[in-house]
Amino acid sequence: MGRNLQNGVRLRPVDLARGHGLSTQAVRNYEEAGILPAADRTAHGYRTYTPLHAGALRAFLALVPGHGHRTAASIMRAVNEGAADEAFRLIDESHAQLLEDRRTLRAVESALRDLDTATVSEPALSAPGGTFIGPLAGRLGIRPATLRAWERAGLVRPSRDARTGYRVYDEADVRDARLAHQLRRGGYLLEQIAPLIAQVRAAGGLEPLETALRDWHGRLSARARAMLTGAAELEAYLRERG
């Protein structure tokens, strides 16, 4: 690190800030958070930065899109503290999470394909006025208690028959139950399934969800590429530190 700190080039906070579209306060905040190495001070107490600090700032800003602000900050703190292995571990965790997100997306797509096939090949599970818990559970090959557990977890939201108080599952409830069934068979937990079914409801059904799935693919690809960009800038910073 000393090689760059002693190369004679001195930068003011405003120089770093302007080069990255930041405020000078943001630059000072990043230094105080350990994202940048500690700055030298002039005789009058003003901060002075070097090209090494500029490299640290570039690395941090490049890491944020792929890893998020908190993880990117932790990576930079670890590097600046000389704990490179900890920084690499944090990077590995982000890559592992991205892989898990890809697996989840594949599971959702597989479940939706199976759901489409079942919808075409099987008789309708929901009558015009809805269906009750016993017939629905029987057709799905599960116990009524399972449907009740899914209801408590928010996966299905049946109404109640005004006269008998029995649960009544309409077409949307049957769709959600089928999707939950496919995902459970794929090994997903109820707490993992709930937000996916919420997304189906927000999209207005399965067909509009296709756009959401394409967007999901795009976000994962963008995140993967951002991780590559962040890795390149971090490697450059590590070389500068020596």
CATH: 1.10.730.10, 2.60.120.10, 3.10.150.10, 1.10.1660.10. Which one for 2-94+224-241?
1.10.1660.10
Q: pLDDT for 203-231, tens place per residue?
A: 777 676 677 778 888 989 999 999 999 99
Domains in the chain: boundaries: 2-94+224-241, 97-221
Q: What is the pTM of this model?
A: 0.69
What is the CATH code for 97-221?
1.10.1660.10
CB of 115 closer than 8 Å to CB of 163: no
Q: pLDDT for 181-200, tens place per residue?
A: 888 877 788 988 888 888 77
The amino acid that residue 76 corresponds to is M
DSSP, res 7: S
Structure tokens at 187: 């090994």
Give dist(CA 218, CA 94) in Å, integer.
Answer: 17
Determine phi and psi for 38, rounding to 5 degrees: -60, 135
In the predicted structure, residue 7 carries a pLDDT above the cut 90: no
Domains 2-94+224-241 and 97-221 share a fold: yes
In sequence order, what are the beta bridge partners of 41? 47
pLDDT of the residue at 119: 52
Give dist(CA 210, CA 227) in Å, integer.
Answer: 26
Round the average pLDDT of the chain to a whole number and report it.
Answer: 86
In the predicted structure, residue 108 carries a pLDDT above the cut 60: yes
Please name the helix (run of DSSP H) or strand (run of DSSP E) that holds residue 48, with its range, or none. strand 47-48
